[in-house]
Structures are given as C-alpha cells and as structure tokens.
Amino acid sequence: MYRLLIVDDEEIITDSLYETFSRHMPDQLDVCKAYSAMEALNWMRRTRMDMVLTDIRMPGMSGLELTEEIQTQWPQCRIIFLTGHSDFDYAYRALQMPNVRYLLKTEGYDKVLTMVEQVMEEIRQSHHMLEVLEQSREIQFRLDAFQQEQYVRQLLQDCNSAPISRSEMSEMQTELTKRNIELQADAPVHLVLGRFNTPLDAGIDLRQVQDSIRIIGSSLLSEQSTLVTAADHYGDVIWLLQPKREKSYEHNQFTSYIEGTLELVQAACLASLDMSIAFTLSGRACAWSQIPRQYERLRLLQWMKVGDGVSMVLTDNYEGFAAGAVKDPVRISSRIDVMSGYLETGRFQSFYDIFEELVGELMLQEMTMERAMETYYHLALMLYSTCNRWGLQQDTTDQRSLLQLGDYACMKDAVQSLYRTADELVHFKRSTEEERTNLVIQTLGRYIKDNLEKDLSLVRLAELNHFNPSYLSRLFKQEMGINLSEYIDDCRIRKAKELLHNMDLMVREVALQVGYESAHSFTRLFKKLTGMTPQEFRESLLVR
C-alpha cells in the first residue's frame, strides 16, 4: 500500500482531494492530509510518505521549502506540486528538484488522478531491482563480506555485556576499519532482524537468497545510514546501522526512517525475488556491549508476532538494558539452539526434524549412558524453559517430571514425555497466534466505535497499536473482509443515524461528534452511503 499526503492551506481543496483519493483506490492508497507545511512535516516525522501532493505558495513555509525538508529525510518520496500559479520561475525551480512533478489546479481532478497513478507505477517499477542485484553480485568482494559477517556473528554471541572502556573502544574501531566496516565504535547502533516467510523451493540456494535480501536492504538503507550486514546461524538477516554523521535527526526520527525504508525493502523483495520478509528493529540505539541482548530481544519479538507475520515491521521500544547485566550464563548445543529457534518462529516441520534426529540418537544401542543423559537433559531443559517462558507451568502434562529422569521406568517412557510436551507446545503456539490476532482486531474495533470524533487515520491507529500502518491495514482486511476506512465510515454513519433521532442536535453538531469538522463533507459522505442527506433522513423519521 502506498501513502499519499495532501497539503494545502485552502481547506476546501484539501478536503475535496482527500475524499476523492480515499474513495479512488482504498486497497492501494492510504491518504493523509495537512493544512500547512508544518503540519505536513509532523506527518513526515511520524511515518514514511511515498507521495506528497502540495501547493507551492502557502503561508509561512512554501511548498518548495517543504520539499527540501522532505527530501532530506525521505529522498525516495515523490512530490507533485498542485498550484493555481502558472509563474514560470516557480515551475522552473520545482522541475529542478529530483522526483518532482508540476500541475496547475485548472487542469482538473482527472489529471491529478492520472498523475498520481503514473507516480505509483514509477514506484512499483523502482522495486524491480534484479539488475541492481546482478551488478552488485559481479562487484562484490567476497573476502571482505566474509570477514564482516564473521565479525558481526561474533558481536551477536559475545557474552560480555559490561560497558566498553576507552582502550577497548579504540581496539574495536581498529577492527572495524580493518574489515572496511564504516560504523563508529564511539556511537550506539540500531539493529534490524529480517526473516523471510516464503518457503524455499527445492534446489534454491539459501545463501543466494540471503545475499539478495542483504543487497536490496543495504542499497536502500545506506541512503541515510552507514551499516554492516550478515546472515545469522538461524538463516535470518541482520543489519547494524548508524545515521550518517552529516545527518541531523531528532528523537526517534532515525527510527521512523528505518521503519519506512524497510517497507520499501519488503516491496522490492516481493517484486524482485517473490519473497515475503518480516522485520523487527530496535527503536532505540544500544551500546555495542548490549548488541547480543538486543539481538535476542528482536528474535523474541518476532516470535510474539500477530497473525502470520508476513510483511510486518515491528519495533522494539525497550528503554534500555541495565549496565553490567549478565547474559544467560550457559548456552546449550547448537542443534538444540537451532531447534528452539524453529519452535519460537513457528517453523514446526524443521523443529520436528531436529527433534526426531536427537531422539533417534538418544535411542541408539551404541550411545553411552553419559551421552544419552546429556542429550536427554538438553532436550528436556529446552522444553521445560519454553513452557515457563510461555506461561504453561500448570497446563503441560509431565512438566515436573521432565527434569527428573529417574521418575520414569525406562528411557522409552521418558522419551514419550518429551514427545507429549513438544506436541503441546506446538499446539499452544499455533492457537495463541490466532487468539492474539483476534484480540487486536476486537480492541481496534472497540476503540474506533468509542472515539469516532478523534483522529482515526491509519497512521494514528497504527501508533496506538504499535504496528506498522501498512501491516495493520492488511491484517484488518484479512480478518474483517473490508478495508479499515470502509469500516470507519460505516461506524460513523451508524452513529450519525442514532444522533439524528435527537431533533435538538444540529447537523453540524452531529458531524462533529462523528469526526467531521466540515458539515459539508459529512453531508456528502452521508448521502453517498445512504442515498439521502442528513436532513432528508431526519425528515423521513418524522413521516414514520
């Protein structure tokens, strides 16, 4: 879904364009509006905009000045100037800017609609980056990439979470420079974790897919940031990012940039690779010593996803880690670690494959007693800790006996207990994802009905529910069968009909109570959806 912001100091023009585009293509276009350049900049700080349709001459900040600000933060954003002024100097200055179009208001709505559709098609074409991928593969320095990846993996697994001293920071900077990593050891970093959801067909090279995703993500994210990327041992993709030093960002502005750019990465991966990607990212930069803990939090956040996790962008807004906090002291074997990751991320067949492999080894005749006990307790500890983490202390059978191998008559009985616990964890994981989705949609519906007079824009609803706007829109339609904007309009009309029964309320008062500052806009929508104006509806009540 693309996002369009309409900016004009003349409210009647802004409202008319907003209503036109909102009805024109609700499945493809999320429309926002602003009555001044400063209000438009507030929108840009909150979320990514793909297109801005703006007047040139406005009080305070002009459309040209607004465009310069927008392109500093969102260089991929397309600008369409819509103005009543045919002054050549204005048009000339506008056309010198990148990604800019120029239209006169006298050209009519049809011309504006056509122009927006053309710009949307340009954006779609820009997502087809296969040629960029091929060129990047030809010039990629495999040795540098390998060294960088090994270093990033080392950072992810480092158990020392104590603050880094000045001398250690200097040593780290030397290591970064030696590997051609442009990040600065004296500045905190943001983390992004990407997981592809589309199953790989037989014969497809996993490494090639990972490389392609990393190239696409890095090419888009590097416009405003310095970064390094790697594939972790779960098969997921990780980025470490810092804003470019010449860029000046307000609080959370860099996070907003990352969120918006990751949506473009998702679109490019879908268009070029036919691959669906889900992202989690750190909402706040963390110290280098806290990278392992932030990484583990992002992995957990992916597990706690709502719905199927397809094309979502989730942000971890955790305030920070306590200085000197100790990381989990013991790490179990690599296969147990990978199996746990598969369970948490819902890859059940891969989870069972490793589970069956380990249980098969456990029952081998040549297995020593010491090795059999070690394998069993590794499995039991992973299942037991997962039950505790998921809050199943009282619900899962045999949990108390999992860590007491002597309670079972034989190893076969103990293994059956492992199977039962594993099956119950898989069943719980599948059911809770559906329950969380239903709860989110129900809560959203109640909020809309109770707050019809407030800001119900997609961006605002996404902020309240801690979701990416595009993902929330898709999730709502998937669960409810209608667009979120249609649902809001239906709720407003239903409430309006109730209020119109009160003959003491003026139509304008009814409009305000259902979220319309303009009685004219309310009347137009009411007639469009009911076939009569609010006054005609009220008169029909008297006839009855």
Q: Higher pLDDT residue, 17 or 89?
A: 17
Segment 291-349, tens digit of pLDDT: 988 888 787 666 545 444 456 788 887 665 543 333 333 344 678 888 988 898 888 99
- Residue 391: which region, alpha, beta or left (left: phi > 0; alpha: psi -120 to 50)? left
* pLDDT in the model for residue 78: 93
Q: What is the DSSP letter of 531?
A: S
pLDDT, tens digit, 9 for 90 and up, residues 66-76:
999 998 888 88
Asked if residue 10 lies in contact with residue 483, where contact means CB atoms within 8 angstroms, the answer is: no
- Predicted confidence (pLDDT) per residue in 36-76, tens digit: 999 999 999 888 899 999 998 889 998 889 999 998 888 88
CA distance 420 to 233: 28
pLDDT of residue 510: 94
Overall average pLDDT of the 463-470 stretch? 79
Note the pLDDT of residue 131: 63
Show the CA angle centred on residue 319, arms to residues 316 and 320, nearest 5°.
Answer: 100
Is the confidence at residue 79, as pLDDT, over 80?
Answer: yes
Contact 40, 51 (CB under 8 A): no
Residue 481 has pLDDT above 80, yes or no: yes
Mean pLDDT of the 119-130 span: 80
Query: pLDDT exceeding 90 applies to what percent of the chain?
Result: 36
Say if CB 301 and CB 314 are below 8 A apart.
yes
Structure tokens at 502: 């009160």
> How many angstroms separate the CA atoms of 92 and 86, rounded?
10
User: Which tops the pLDDT comparison, 100 or 393?
Assistant: 100
CA dist 97 to 43, 287, 441, Å?
21, 38, 42
Secondary structure E strands in 294-363: 313-316
Question: Are 411 and 372 contacting, i.e. CB atoms less than 8 angstroms apart?
Answer: yes
d(CA 389, CA 477): 32
